[in-house]
Amino acid sequence: MLKTTVTAAALAALLAMPVFAQQTAPPKQGFLQSQGAGDWRGSKLIGASVYGPDNSSIGEISDVLIGSDGNIRAVVVGVGGFLGLADKDVAMPFQALRIRSGAAAGTIDKITVSYSKDDLKTAPRFAYDETAKPHTTGLGGGSTAPTAPTKPPQ
């Protein structure tokens, strides 16, 4: 019985070796292991208030536009509204944002831009591309295509 237990333990340890080897292997080139000091998470940008040069709130970031090259092209800000409802969306170049870090790592204290409320009143309204073809997420999310309504059972 002792021989069987020792053999089983040795076999289990031998089979587990590749798993341990995989865990200690260096990451593949191109994969990140942590957020960099100057990196901002999209989840922290979306919903953040944006302030103008006179320190008044001009709107909130509602979306982030990423170009086909992988770089952030712009942020969409709902501006000119009343009681939290945006009058229109304006896409501002990401480089126009001045983001001040918060006290905790990865947090945002304040986002400011040099655009005044008057600048934004005359800025062109941003329109999303509604002609984009539906796609699948590739992560089990299924198609984003609208589905036809189903008939109730008779």
Between 64 and 143, the higher pLDDT residue = 64
pTM, two decimals, is 0.62
Domains of the chain: 42-116 (2.30.30.240)
pLDDT score for 21: 46
**What token pair was written down for 3?**
């021989």
Closest CA to 58 of 137, 118, 117, 124: 117
Least confident of 14-18, 47-51, 85-89: 14-18
CA distance linking residue 112 with residue 36, whole number of Å: 22
pLDDT score for 51: 95
| Mean pLDDT, residues 59-78 taken together | 93
Average pLDDT, the chain: 76
pLDDT at 92 over 90: yes
Backbone φ, ψ for residue 89 (5° rounding): -100, 135
Percent of the chain with pLDDT over 70: 63
pLDDT score for 65: 94
CA distances from 43 to 19, 39, 62, 124 (A): 33, 12, 10, 25
Residue 18's pLDDT band (cuts 50, 70, 90): low
Indicate the DSSP class of residue 94. G
